[in-house]
Amino acid sequence: MRKLTFEQFGNDRLSRQERVELLGLIWDSLPDDAPFTPPASHIEELERRIAAADADP
Question: CB of 19 within 8 A of CB of 11?
Answer: yes
Q: Give alpha helix (H) positions in 1-57.
A: 16-29, 40-55
Residue-level pLDDT at 1: 67
Query: Is the pLDDT score of 55 beyond 70?
Result: yes
Structural domain boundaries in the chain: 7-55
14: Cβ–Cβ under 8 A, 6 or more apart, which residues? 22
Could you report the per-residue pLDDT of 1-31, keeping only the tens digit for each? 688 888 888 888 999 999 999 999 999 999 9
Residue-level pLDDT at 45: 98
> How far is Cα 10 from Cα 19, in angstroms, rounded to an integer?
10
